[in-house]
Amino acid sequence: MNHFLDLHTTDAGELRQIIDHARAIKTAREGRPRGTPDDEQALAGRMVALIFEKPSTRTRVSFDVGVRQMGGQTMVLSGQDMQLGHGETIADTARVLSRYVDLIMIRTFDEAVLHEMADAASVPVINGLTDNSHPCQIMADIMTFEEHRGPIKGKKVVWTGDGNNVCASFLHAAGQFGFDLTFAGPMQLDPDPKAVGFARDHGSSIVIERDPMRAVEGADLIVADTWVSMHDAQSARERRHNMLRAYQVNDALMAAAGDKALFMHCLPAHRGEEVTSSVMDGPQSVIFDEAENRLHAQKAVMRWCLGL
Ligand code: CP
Ligand code: NVA
């Protein structure tokens, strides 16, 4: 049994195998009607708990559909509706759930909650986003990049805006998959220094660049995310917008990058804020492929967790 907690704590060779398996899972479904189950009913008879302490559209639906297509069943739980939200410890919740279900996916705030859940659970635990990371998203993003451009190794990824949880997972992925990353954002919102250190220690070139036009020169991929994450105080909204406005991904920035650069956004996006609609809907954007690939990548993650 394997937990899927973060990209920097999972073996790089196994991450590569998960991506390759996701590709094979996707190919096996090609041309099949949407509602039909997978040929391989890998999760037949298994129950998966999906716990959300924050809102979600993609993570919730892609995990739920993925489990069902593999023949398993899901239980979607909101943290507030559980005793977890009313004082029961995370460890006790993990021990109890482990008696009922075969796999737990949790989206929460502090990553300490995820680790406490994993330490106490006797079934695999998957990180469905914390304040600190979003590994499932980046597995789908690597898969998507490689579908369009081939191996990501040696490529230049430019992260624009806030050095947040999704950025941290991109930095972990840079170290594990061997690509370089330029961070284009304000000093106040620099990425997690531990994630930067991890990528550099694993041989990636990580550049911090305050000028967005210079940052995107020679980019293979430009990534944006919301300027105000779910864990950020709403009171910081105006201050963040003022700091981040110069880093909007728009037609001028895409032109400075050139035609080979893809555009990604984990979604939900705020059109007209971190990215314009012209870029979201433009020829270099692969945002809906990314969203679709959450389904395929997470199927491979769940099977890896369960050794299937
Ligand atoms: N990208 C992503 O995780 O989206 P949701 O918040 O809708 O799950
Ligand atoms: N950084 C965003 C990602 C949402 C999928 C957040 O944490 O709210």
| 230 touches ligand 2 (CB under 6 Å) | yes
Which residues in 38-155 belong to E strands, given as ranges? 47-52, 73-78, 103-107, 125-127
Asked if residues 274 and 244 have their Cβ atoms less than 8 Å apart, the reply is yes
pLDDT in tens, 48-83: 999 999 999 999 999 999 999 999 999 999 988 898
| Model pLDDT, residue 80 | 86
Catalytically annotated residue among 3, 8, 46, 107: 107
Exposure string (b/e) for 159-198, b if CB count within 10 Å is 16 or more? Answer: bbbbbbbbbbbbbbbbbbbbbbbbbbbbeebebbeebbeb
Beta bridge partners of 207: 182
| 130 touches ligand 2 (CB under 6 Å) | no
Q: What is the mean pLDDT of the chain?
A: 97
What is the 304 CA–ligand 2 centroid distance (Å)?
A: 25
The yes-or-no answer to whether 12-133+294-306 and 137-290 have a common fold is yes
pLDDT in tens, 196-246: 999 999 999 999 999 999 999 999 999 999 999 999 999 999 999 999 999
Does position 120 have pLDDT exceeding 80, yes or no?
A: yes
Catalytically annotated residue among 162, 225, 265, 296: 225
Return the CATH class of domain 137-290: alpha beta
Percent of the chain whose predicted confidence (pLDDT) is above 90: 94
| 226 touches ligand 2 (CB under 6 Å) | yes
> What ipTM does this complex have?
0.99
Domains of the chain by residue range: 12-133+294-306, 137-290
Q: pTM for the complete prediction?
A: 0.97
Beta bridge partners of 47: 73
12-133+294-306 belongs to which homologous superfamily? Aspartate/ornithine carbamoyltransferase (3.40.50.1370)
Does position 32 have pLDDT exceeding 90, yes or no?
A: no
Instruction: Extract the annotated binding site for carbamoyl phosphate.
Output: 56-59, 83, 107, 134-137, 266-267, 294
Arithmetic mean of pLDDT, 241-256: 98
Is 137 tagged catalytic? yes
- The residues, ordered by sequence, that sit 6+ positions from 191 with a Cβ below 8 Å of its Cβ are 159, 163, 164, 167, 168, 171, 183
Arithmetic mean of pLDDT, 149-153: 98
Catalytically annotated residue among 3, 8, 134, 265: 134
